[in-house]
Amino acid sequence: MTTERIVGIGAGAKELATEDMTLNIGPQHPSTHGVLRLRLTLDGERISAAEPIIGYMHRGAEKLFEVRDFRQIIVLANRHDWLSAFSSELGVVLAVERMLGMEVPVRAVWARTLLAELNRVLNHLMFLGSYPLEVGAITPIFYAFREREVLQRVMEEVSGGRMHYMFNRVGGLKEELPAGWTGRARHAVTEVRARMSDIADLIMGNEIFRARTRNVGVLTREQILQYGVSGPIARASGVDFDLRRDEPYLAYGELPVRVVTRQEGDCLARFECLLDQVYASLDIADACLDRLAELPPGPINQRLPKVLKVPEGHTYAWTENPLGLNGYYLVSRGEKTPWRLKLRSASFNNIQVLAELLPGNLVADMIAILGSMFFVVGDIDK
């Protein structure tokens, strides 16, 4: 015998059932790795609209540049993206050196290139460890931090800082590399390369991780170009562009820069790009160490006047930072401070595409998508 039960739910229930819900994701507490707010409009479990709301970490860096001299502004740029401190310093000094028409000693050029690639590996290792944590895998972060400590040790020895190196100077580097440091750096690079398979095998062979990331959060090439997305995120969608190869600076023009790309444009492709980029950067680091070993002794910086004034004019320098393209538009009126220094940070552009990327996806997939965008919140707000 079958019993059929009919339940009356009242007038207006239809409109109530289809009403969209607005959900705020964040802002989180500053003790996390940054404060970002997402305002989502949900249709059931599916996102129908998304609005990234930034500004919670605005520090007025661009305005502060205007009241500090050309040596002091390096410390502000250094802290903009705390995972890419050396690379952020580099863009500022390259812009100032271009305005001055300054030739940097060859030892400084190769040492800068080496340190920039070690900093790139440190940045990528952080995301290679923290991203699986976002989707429920805790073990990879311990492996990633083990490798980070190996490289942090040599970076701290050469600069004196663990995160905010302050080792770049207008005209070169702060000081000569310590005696025997290149040997220790080479050993660190070899050790990290040998143990990267621990991370790769643990994650890439995990069926749950692949199921959570494959065909999730697909970014098209057209969206990448429309929003100015750059770095590993853009290359994961088939945008084969890397400043180190296409518009070389430092010593990259003399190095075989391998550009890692994928075509799928999903969360998994972005993670794979980051993983393969670590190997490519370690290869560049080895090439830089070989070249440094061949160079004769010489200066590693230029002597500067006590008061450094930059000639009147303007220039634009850009670098391939670990998270994408960073640009520095410098305007000088011949004084000891910049008249204007405008930053183009990679994370700012990369996060804007979320407004187009998230709609249509499930709330459960939002965390996987958000983590795969590899952004630093401090690099968004200026």
- 262 falls within a domain: yes
Please report which confidence band the pLDDT of residue 8 belongs to, taking 50, 70 and 90 as the band edges: very low
Q: Does 56 fall in a domain? A: no
SS3 annotation, 323-373:
CEEEEEEEEECCCCCCCEEEEECHHHHHHHCHHHHCCCCEHHHHHHHHHCC
We report the CATH number of the domain holding residue 285 as 1.10.645.10
Q: Do the domain assignments include residue 120?
A: yes
**Model confidence pLDDT, tens digit, residues 231-241:** 999 999 999 99
Is the residue at 61 inside a domain? no
* Phi-psi category of residue 330: left, alpha or beta, with phi > 0 → left and psi -120 to 50 → alpha: beta
pLDDT at 351 over 80: yes
Whether 81 is in a domain gets the answer: no
* Residue 182, domain member (yes or no): yes
pLDDT of residue 33: 58
Q: Domains in the chain: how many in total?
A: 1
Kindly state whether residue 283 falls inside one of the protein's structural domains. yes
Q: Are the beta carbons of 172 and 106 closer than 8 angstroms?
A: no
Within a domain: 115: yes
Q: Which domain holds residue 175?
A: 104-307+348-380
pLDDT score of 2: 47
Residue 29: band (very low, low, confident or very high) from pLDDT cuts 50, 70, 90: low
